[in-house]
Structure 1
Amino acid sequence: MERKTGRCGNCIVVGILAPGELCSRAGSGWLCGCGLLGVGIWLSVSQGNFATFSPSFPSLSAANLVIAIGTIVMVTGFLGCLGAIKENRCLLLSFFIVLLIILLAELILIILFFVYMDKVNENAKKDLKEGLLLYNSENNVGLKNAWNIIQAEMHCCGVTDYRDWFSVLGENTVPDRCCMENSQGCGQNNTTLVWRTGCYEKVKQWFADNKHVLGTVGMCLLITQILGMAFSMTLFQHIHRTGKKYDA
């Protein structure tokens, strides 16, 4: 009798806590996804091809990336929240599978990145240098804006160094944003007062300097995903044991 009472009590606790926790986390994810989607659409409409560095992947812009991430997060959060509210096993299982696929994809990408790091660096530099050729083209205003912002904010010039611009803008000529003291025409025929370090190394250094913060954020995301999977499967098992069907 005591054993049955204990099991019943556990079922009640799970039935109350699991849906609330899952809906809270999934709902937060849904709101974040909506926010990211809104920012991505705003970037796409107002900034055009802002931050499109790579000519090989013209669709890989900041706007498109944010829209894609926002859509995935929003749909995933919606599945989890609705599944928890409706106590629908089909939705909960879908939520679990989507989170599992995302988690596995993240792990595979991280492993591949570290295994092929040298090749990734080599190809990235090559592609970025090819992208410099589109700096002054009318259809790539976003690329020009992105380079200007990066060079001004990170105090760098070109991909590997300032000389990358010579084949694009002419001998001894760099964008004005490469100048230590920015002024109109400061980058023309004067390379003595420009930033010497390439932006690729600066960006790598930024990641190295902020690796602890980035690692903490990554761990928080990982824990959130694992908890979401755990709560969804706990609620799924609870519904299965209590005999609830695939309610709409």
Structure 2
Amino acid sequence: MRRSSTDESTYRRSPSPEGKEPGFARGGPFRRCSSLYGRAGAGEAGDAGGGPFFGLHSNPGPKAAQARYTSPKGNKYVVFYLDLSFIFLLELKRCSMARGCLQGVKYLMFAFNLLFWLGGCGVLGVGVWLAATQGSFATLSSSFPSLSAANLLIVTGTFVMAIGFVGCIGALKENKCLLLTFFLLLLLVLLLEATIAVLFFAYTDKIDRYAQQDLKKGLHLYGTQGNVGLTNAWSIIQTDFRCCGVSNYTDWFEVYNATRVPDSCCLEFSDSCGLHAPGTWWKAPCYETVKSWLQENLLAVGIFGLCTALVQILGLTFAMTMYCQVVKADTYCA
């Protein structure tokens, strides 16, 4: 018996243009899956134009849209808070590292400037001792009588102490003004030393002529009242270097207006030995002898100057590094 067309299975029938298939849309087994994508089928809530296949609808319903976009908002906020927390932790770590570096540089600079200050105290003490016991010790120039070894040591020691004190206080207090002052003072000293060295090597011949003339003028102050330092300096130089006079022992003839030299020029020291014959005196000129001694020990002099420059450069490095660390700490970790 032939089955009627009305008894055909809904699975064999082509979908209607309007999509109204009660068996497929309402009672079909795919309704539950299709409803997940916002469509329960044609005929519900006036949903016209729906297709027969689940999950392929282009316009989801309001419930599906609400279900889709409601939950991700909380996830976005959580991710945002996590990002902020991560950035905050990075900032804390960076600040702690900057603070640790600042503390390390702080103590290194304090130790350096403490040694610097102690060295200045030592130099100042030696200068004061020389000034108290030897008068104007090592004053050889008549044009600059105050330019003595004692006065130079006193001035140098005082200046070094002042610079070291500023550096110590600036390091302990982490004060930018004191650190910058220390840096500028030390830089000024370094530039001044470099300028003097360049001028000395550039005008060596002129300096030699002027120094010899000035030293010969200073010989006339030998043994006079108030010039104990100059007298002692010439006596020590002629005895230790075994020399006599600036350029020759005859330089003393103009001082005494006689054929005479100080007793420190004698080969064998004794009272009034300078009145004896020239054969008993040292013949080497003191200026050339001392100059030759300096040239022979030029390596030691150069090493001393290089060490002094390196110490100053190290102080400049500490000061500028700590200044930058303090600025960073005040800017990022305030």
TM (normalized to structure 2)? 0.70
CA RMSD between the two structures: 1.7
Task: Work out the CA distance in 1 between the residues paired with 2:194 and 2:313.
Answer: 13
Instruction: List runs of 5+ in structure 2 lacking aligned partners.
Output: 1-86
Counting only pairs closer than 5 Å after superposition, residues 115-154 of structure 1 correspond to structure 2 as 115-154=202-241
> 2:133 matched to 1:46?
yes
Runs of 4+ in 1 over 3 A off after TM superposition: 1-10
Q: Which moved more, 1:168-177 or 1:74-83?
A: 168-177
Task: Work out the CA distance in 1 between the residues paired with 2:297 and 2:142.
Answer: 28
Aligned to 1:65: 152
**Please, which of 312, 322, 325 is the counterpart of residue 235 of structure 1?**
322
After superposition, what is the alpha-carbon deviation per residue over 1:1-47, rounded to whole angstroms, capped at 9, x for unaligned? 69757744641342122111111111111011111111111211221
Instruction: List runs of 5+ in structure 1 lacking aligned partners.
Output: none
- Checking the alignment, whether the CA contact within 8 Å between 2:138 and 2:148 is kept in structure 1 is yes
Counting only pairs closer than 5 Å after superposition, residues 47-196 of structure 1 correspond to structure 2 as 47-196=134-283
Task: Work out the CA distance in 1 between the residues paired with 2:258 and 2:205.
Answer: 30
Task: Work out the CA distance in 1 between the residues paired with 2:301 and 2:97.
Answer: 38
User: 1:7 and 1:161, CA in 2 relative to 1: closer, same or farther beyond 3 A?
Assistant: farther
Aligned to 1:218: 305
SS class of match (2:193): helix
- CA displacement at 1:172 relative to structure 2: 2.4
2:321 partner letter:
T
Structure scoring higher RCO (CA < 8 A, sep ≥ 6) equals 1
Identity, in percent, stands at: 47
**Please, which of 247, 261, 284 is the counterpart of residue 197 of structure 1?**
284
Q: Where is the helix percentage greater, Structure 1 or Structure 2?
A: 1
Aligned to 2:77: none
After superposition, what is the alpha-carbon deviation per residue over 1:97-127, rounded to whole angstroms, capped at 9, x for unaligned? 0010000000100011111111111000000
1:217 partner letter:
F
SS class of match (1:138): coil
2:160 partner letter:
V
- Checking the alignment, whether the CA contact within 8 Å between 1:160 and 1:198 is kept in structure 2 is yes
**Please, which of 280, 284, 295 is the counterpart of residue 208 of structure 1?**
295
> 2:109 matched to 1:22?
yes
Q: How many residues align?
A: 244
TM (normalized to structure 1)? 0.93
After superposition, what is the alpha-carbon deviation per residue over 1:169-218, rounded to whole angstroms, capped at 9, x for unaligned? 23321111111111111111411121111111111112111111111111
